[in-house]
Structure 1
Amino acid sequence: MLFPRAAGVLLHPTSLPGAGGIGDFGPDAHRFVQWLADAGMKIWQVLPLGPTGYGDSPYQCFSAFAGNPLLIHVPGFTGEPTSGNPHVVDFGAVIPAKQAALAAWLDTVPFTDEVRRFVQEQAHWLPDYALFMALKQAHGGVAWPQWDAGAAQREPEALRSWRATLAPEIDRIYKQQFVFFGQYQALRQACRDRGIKLMGDVPIYVAHDSADVWANPTQFQLHANGTLKVQAGVPPDYFSETGQLWGNPLYDWERMQADGYSWWIARMRAGLQQFDLVRLDHFRGFEAYWEIAGDAPTAVHGRWVKGPGASLFAALTAALGPMPIVAENLGLITPEVETLREQFHYPGMAILQFAFDGQDSNFIPHRYVRDLVVYTGTHDNDTTMGWWQSTGEGDSTRAADAVAREKDFAKRYLGTDGHEMHWVLIRAALASVASTVLVPLQDVLGVGSDARMNLPGRQAGNWGFRFTWAQLTPDLTERLRTLTTTYER
C-alpha cells in the first residue's frame, strides 16, 4: 500500500508534559496535536498503548487490547511525584500516586448504561482482562502461573467464585477502560480535525504475564503449569553481543492456523480500530523466529523456526481487507522476509543512523524507493545527537576507528561539517523519495543521549523521556514546517 507523501513525529504519550509526573490524554496531548499541525506534520506515531508491567515497557503489557490507565487524564490531579526533573518520568513514584488518584476518581464515575454497552461491545477481551487484573491484585501482584491453581488454570467454579468476590474491583476496571477509550477517541478526533493520522505499534509478541496468555493458554507454547516451554528473542546483533532474551511466550502457530487465526484477526481488528496506520513490530518473526529455551540465561543458543508466513496475512486480509501496515523489517533480514513483505505490499523501514557504517545498506538515501518509511532513528536508537556525539570509547558494539570512518563518510555524503547534525538528517530524510518520514521528537529538539527512550537489553531506566513546552520554540516549529513544505510533505 503506497502511502501519500507525508512527515510525522514519533512521541509516546507518556513523554508529554503535564501534571502528575507523566504524560496523558489531557490538555497537553491536545496541545501537542495542534503543534503537529502548526509544524506541518501529518502523522503522530505512538508506541503500544497497553497497560505496562515489568520494566514499564510498552512492549510488555498486561493486555494486547486494553489501554494503559496511566494515560488517563484525571481531572484535578496536579501532584508531581517526581525526582524534580521535568524531563524524566519517575515511574516508581508516579505509578502509586496516579493509581490512587485514578481509583478515587473512578469511584465517583457512575456505572451507566453507556459503560454497560461498552463492556458488551468489548466482550471478546474486557471481562477476561478485568478479572485478570483483579486476580493479580488479589494475589499480591505475582505472575499468573503463581496464583492458586483454580485461578491459574481457569477452573470454572473457581472463576465464578472469584468474580463474585472481586466484583467491585472488576467494575472499577470496566469504568477505567471506558474512560481510557473515551479520552483516546476524543484525542483521535482532534487529530482528524487537523488532518493528522495516528500511527500505532502492534508488537509481534505479548507478555507472558498477561490476560491474553492466561485466557488463551492453548494458543501459546506453555507447560501445563503455565510456565514457558520456549521464549522469544533475537540472536546477537548490533544492540547486544548475547542477543536479546525477551521472555515472551511463542505462539502455537499450528493451533492458531487450525482455528483460522481468530486471535490474530481480533487483535489486528482492534489495532485498526484504534489507529489509522499500524507499524507491525518485528515483522521478520512472522517468516522465521528465534526460538530459545524457556529457562535459557541468554539468547545465544537458540534456533530459527519457520513462522506462519503468508497464510497469516492472507487470513488477515480476507477478514479485514487491505491493511495500512508498515513492516518493521530491521535486524537479520533474509530474502524470504522481503518476499513476504512485498507479497502483501507493506512498506518497510530505513533508519538513517544506520546508513553510514560502510555496509551494503539500503538505508542510504540514494537507494530509497517510494514505498518506504524513513526514520532518523527509532525509540530503540540513541538520539541523533547522542549518536553523532558518541566516540565509540567503551562501546563494545562501535569501535572508535569505525565510528570515525562512519562520521567522515556521513559528512561527505551529506555535505556537512557536522554542525546541527539532527537537522542535517531531518533534511536528508524529508528530501528523499520515500513516501513517509518519521522523526522522534528528541531529534527535532536536538537533545543528547540522556533523552534516549530505550536501550535494548537494559533492564531498567528506559521509557522515561519527557519534553517541556519551553523546548518547542516558535523558531523550531517554523523551521520544521518550512522544511516539510519545501519537500512537499
Structure 2
Amino acid sequence: MYFRISIVLYTLVERIELDIKKSSGLIMHPTALPSKYGIGDFGNTSKEFIDFLEETSTNVWQVLPLGLTSLDEFSPYSSPSSILGNRYLIDIEQLDGFDNKNYNVENFSKEYVEYKKVYDFKDLVFKDLSQTINPDDEIYSNFLNEELIKQHITFLALKDLNQTVWTSWDNEYKEYSEKLFEKLLKDESNLMNFHIFTQYEFFKQWNDLKKYANDKKINILGDIPIYVNHDSADVWLNKEIFELDQSGEMEFISGAVPDSFNQQGQVWGNALYKWDNHKSSNFKYWKEKLNKSLDLYDYLRVDHFVGFFKFWAIPTGESALNGHWREGPRHDFFESISQDVDLTKLLAEDLGVILKETKEILTKYNIPGMKVLQQRIPDDVEDLPFLGDTEVIDKESLFEEASDDYFEETHPNEWDYNLAAYTGTHDSPTTQEWFDEVNESKYRNYKEYTKTLKNSFNNDVWDFIALVWESNSQLAITTTQDLLKLDSKARFNIPGTSENNWVWRLEDLKNLEVVKEDLKTLNKSTDRA
C-alpha cells in the first residue's frame, strides 16, 4: 500500500497524485542549511540539497514545522500560528528591490543559528521592502481571499501592536472581525503590509521550491504538532474549542508523562482541547488545519499521535508529576475527519506507549506508524519504562491498553511494511552520540543485529543506518548528522530543555560529497531507489 501524495501549487487547488513505494529520506530542517545570512532559507542551497537527494536516489525530504517560532526558544513546535509560515526562511535575494539596496550584512556564524541576530537583520530587510506594497494589488488581494490567512495575519499584527498575550488586549481586539482587519489596514498600514508581504513571499517561495523538488520526484514530508500555543491565532480565533477559564487563561496545560527518558515528565505548556466542542463542530478546526498542511507538503507527520486517544493534563504552574490522564476523542475523531481528509497521506508519530486502539486506527485507515532504532535495541538489564509514582500515574491501566509489540523488541528485518523506520529523529541523540553513551548490553545486541547485514560499512553509524535501510519498512529515514557521523555537538534538540536547541547548521553542502556514493549504493541495493 502506498502513500497517496498531492501537489498543491500556490493559490491553486490542482492535485496531482503520486505513488511512493519503498523509499528513503533525510531529515534536514531548512534552518540548518548553509546560507550567508545566518539561517538556511528557500534559496539556492535548498535546491542544491534537493539535487543531492536526487543524485543519491533518496526521494523524501523531511522537514520540521515551517511556522513562525517563538522569540525565546525558537522551537518550530512552538508557534503563534499553525497556518502561517516562518518569514525568516524567505530567501531575501529573491525579493524585488533587494539588489538595489545596500544592507550591512552581519558576520553570521556558519556553525549555528544566532536567532536574535538573524531575526533583527531579516526584519530590517522585510520592513524596508514591504512599505511600498499595495494590498489591493491583484497578487495580494488574491492571497487575502483566503479567510484563514487574513485572520492569522490580523493576530500577528495585533501581537506586534500590543506586545502582550491576547488575554490582556483591549476589548476591541478580543475578537476577530472583517471590520477589525480593515481598520488595521487603514490605521496600521506599515505593520499590515509587513505581514502581508512576508507571508505572501513565504508561500510563493516555498511552493516554488516544492515544485522544484516534485519535478525531480522528491517528496516533502512535513510535520504538524498536535498542540498549539495558548498565545496563538488558533486559540484567539477558536476559544470555544480550547480548555480556558472565563478570562481566557488555562487551568490545565499539556505535557508528557514521566518516563525512562525524563523521570520528572515534561511540561509543554500548550492549551488543551475541549474535545466535546470539537465533536459538536464535526472537528471543523482539525479538518481545516490538516488540509491546509497537506496543501504545503506531500504528506504529513502528526506529532504526539497518541494524544488523540489519551493525553496528560497538568494543573497550570505545577510539575508534570501532578498531571493525570484524560481521554481523547479516539474513534470519533478519525471517523469524522476521514470524510474530508485523506488519511493515507498521514504518518503517525506513535512513539512511546502504543495503545491497542491506536494500532487499530492505524490499520483501519492505512496510516503508517514509526519505529526509531535507537529506542528499539534491547537492553538485557532494562525493565519496563519508568512511568512515575504509582499513586500519581495509573500504570496498570495504561499497560492494559498497550499493544502487544510495545513490550517486544524485534530485529528491523521483522518490522512491518506500513511503517517509517528511523535511526533517530530531531529529538534523539545523533547516532554517534548514541554509540558514545550506549551501555554494554545494548551495544552487544546491536552487534548481534548487524550479523544479518548485506550492506556492511565497517562503521557503527553507517551499519546502524544500513539496519534501517534493510528493514522491510516502507520508509527508511535518517538525519543529515548521522550521514556525516557527527557527535553530540550536532544534536538538534534535547526534549525538556530550552538552551542551545534548533541551532545546528551544516557549514557547507560539499561536506555531503563524501557520503554521496555510499548513500546511492545503499538505496539501490535495498530497492529504495
Q: Same fold (TM over 0.5)?
A: yes
Q: Residues 388, 153 of structure 1: CA spacing in aligned structure 2 closer, same or farther, 3 A cutoff?
A: same
Among 16, 19, 26, the alignment partner of 2:33 is 16
Normalising by structure 1, we get a TM-score of 0.91
Residue 174 (str. 1) matches residue 221 (str. 2): no
Query: Is the 2:428–2:493 contact (alpha carbons within 8 Å) kept by the matching residues of 1?
Result: yes
**Where do residues 153-164 of structure 1 align in structure 2 (5 Å cutoff)?**
162=184, 164=186
Give deviations 1:267-307, integer Å, cap 9, x for gaps.
Answer: 011011111111111110001111111232x2111111111
**How far is the alpha carbon of 1:383 from its aligned partner?**
0.4
Residue in 2 aligned with 1:398? none
Among 497, 500, 505, the alignment partner of 1:461 is 500
Among 57, 70, 73, the alignment partner of 1:55 is 73
Residue 476 (str. 1) matches residue 515 (str. 2): yes
Among 302, 305, 315, the alignment partner of 2:336 is 315
**How far is the alpha carbon of 1:151 from its aligned partner?**
2.1
Residue in 2 aligned with 1:139? 162
**How far is the alpha carbon of 1:107 from its aligned partner?**
3.0
**How far is the alpha carbon of 1:405 from its aligned partner?**
1.4
Query: Is the 1:362–1:368 contact (alpha carbons within 8 Å) kept by the matching residues of 2?
Result: no
Give deviations 1:296-329, integer Å, cap 9, x for gaps.
Answer: 2x21111111111121122221113443111111
Structure-2 separation of matches of 1:44 and 1:6: 11
**Where do residues 63-462 of structure 1 align in structure 2 (5 Å cutoff)?**
63-75=81-93, 79-80=105-106, 82=108, 84=109, 86-109=110-133, 111=135, 112-120=137-145, 122-123=146-147, 125-140=148-163, 142-152=164-174, 162=184, 164-296=186-318, 298-358=319-379, 360-362=407-409, 364-390=411-437, 403-415=439-451, 420-462=459-501
Cα RMSD of the aligned pairs, angstroms, is: 2.2
Give deviations 1:409-454, integer Å, cap 9, x for gaps.
Answer: 2122214999632201111111111111111111111101111111
Query: Is the 1:352–1:364 contact (alpha carbons within 8 Å) kept by the matching residues of 2?
Result: no
Structure-2 separation of matches of 1:338 and 1:467: 37
Worse-superposed segment, 362-371 or 343-352: 362-371
Query: Is the 2:75–2:502 contact (alpha carbons within 8 Å) kept by the matching residues of 1?
Result: yes
Structure-1 separation of matches of 2:202 and 2:213: 17
Q: Residues 252, 477 of structure 1: CA spacing in aligned structure 2 closer, same or farther, 3 A cutoff?
A: same
Give deviations 1:209-244, integer Å, cap 9, x for gaps.
Answer: 111111111110011222112111111123311111
Query: Is the 2:230–2:270 contact (alpha carbons within 8 Å) kept by the matching residues of 1?
Result: yes
Structure-1 separation of matches of 2:151 and 2:106: 33
Q: Residues 429, 66 of structure 1: CA spacing in aligned structure 2 closer, same or farther, 3 A cutoff?
A: same
Structure-1 separation of matches of 2:203 and 2:316: 35
Residue in 2 aligned with 1:35? 52
AA paired with 2:247?
A: N
**How far is the alpha carbon of 1:474 from its aligned partner?**
2.8
**How far is the alpha carbon of 1:198 from its aligned partner?**
0.5
**How far is the alpha carbon of 1:367 from its aligned partner?**
3.0
AA paired with 2:444?
A: D
Structure-2 separation of matches of 1:159 and 1:18: 36
Structure-1 separation of matches of 2:114 and 2:90: 17
Structure-1 separation of matches of 2:410 and 2:35: 36
**How far is the alpha carbon of 1:475 from its aligned partner?**
3.3
**How far is the alpha carbon of 1:161 from its aligned partner?**
5.2
Query: Is the 1:317–1:323 contact (alpha carbons within 8 Å) kept by the matching residues of 2?
Result: no
Worse-superposed segment, 301-310 or 190-199: 301-310
Query: Is the 1:19–1:78 contact (alpha carbons within 8 Å) kept by the matching residues of 2?
Result: no
AA paired with 2:120?
A: P
How many residue pairs get aligned? The number is 472
Structure-2 separation of matches of 1:165 and 1:107: 14
AA paired with 1:483?
A: L
Q: Residues 157, 198 of structure 1: CA spacing in aligned structure 2 closer, same or farther, 3 A cutoff?
A: closer
Structure-1 separation of matches of 2:306 and 2:410: 17
**How far is the alpha carbon of 1:260 from its aligned partner?**
0.9
Give deviations 1:343-381, integer Å, cap 9, x for gaps.
Answer: 222111010111223264446413301111000000000
Aligned residues: percent identity? Answer: 30
Structure-2 separation of matches of 1:199 and 1:362: 27
